[in-house]
Amino acid sequence: MNEKILLVDDEKGLLDMLQTLLKKEGLTNVDFATKGHEALTLSDKETYSVIVLDVMMPDMDGFELCRRLREKTFVPIIFLTARTTDLDKLMGLGIGGDDYITKPFNPLEVVARIKAQLRRHHLYKDSTQIKHESFDFGFFQLNKTSGQLIVRGKEVECPAREFELLTFLCEHPNHIFSIQQLYERIWGQSSIGDEKTVTIHISRLRRKIEPNPKKPQFLINIRGLGYKFVPLVQREK
């Protein structure tokens, strides 16, 4: 396997143990970081397939590290931490984590979850190798080149931000994005105090593309985590 993995934790013994187990599974391309800033530096230089990180580190909270990583990559992130409350788990998943494992843990389970994320990441990369310029979801169609949104065979006016938001979600089907991630990706700045902006744009899009906006089928809200786009039908374009 050529997948590259980044392990971020201030416990060197834990890093050594995980590296040994990963090697036995054929995953030999592993980098380490014991501090958050060190992990950010490595992520700027390398392309990783999975990142495993602790929450409690000496220089940077793991949640903050995850937020900063999400500004530049959608690689799977697995939290491996002693923070065990439901609030911590929701926080970790809500800001962009893909899995949350609490200490103490079964090392073999950690390796199994890393491999599961690698499989999903590999399948996702294969499915998005060809970037579509248009999408056909049966009930509505989106054409990036012409900037058109067609619903039930008729063109619907769609302002730039709404179009960009819908395009981004269509390009990342079944992926949960927090409100902060969506705001920073589409509006290009911090979302502090601007959560309603995303909610309002999602509401407007629902009124345009959903058969029944009160019971959305495409733009789904995952309570406490964010939004995801579910492609009920996608025809080849």
Q: What is the mean pLDDT of residues 143-155?
A: 91
What's the pTM? 0.56
Instruction: Kindly compute the dihedral angle of the four CA atoms of residues 102, 103, 104, 108, in this order, to the nearest 10 degrees.
Output: 70
Residue 98: what are its φ and ψ, rounded to 5°? -100, -20
Using one digit for the tens of pLDDT, what is the confidence trace for 104-136? 888 888 899 898 888 776 665 554 444 567 899
The domain ranges of the chain are 5-127, 134-229
| Fold that domain 5-127 belongs to in CATH | Rossmann fold (3.40.50)
**Of all residues in the chain, what percent carry a pLDDT higher than 90?**
41
Cis amide leading into 104 (omega within 30): yes
Range 134-229: architecture per CATH: Orthogonal Bundle (1.10)
pLDDT tens digits, residue range 32-47? Answer: 999 999 999 999 888 8
Split at pLDDT 50, 70, 90, the class of 161 is confident
Q: Provide the pLDDT for residue 95.
A: 83
Q: Give mean pLDDT, residues 50-72.
A: 89
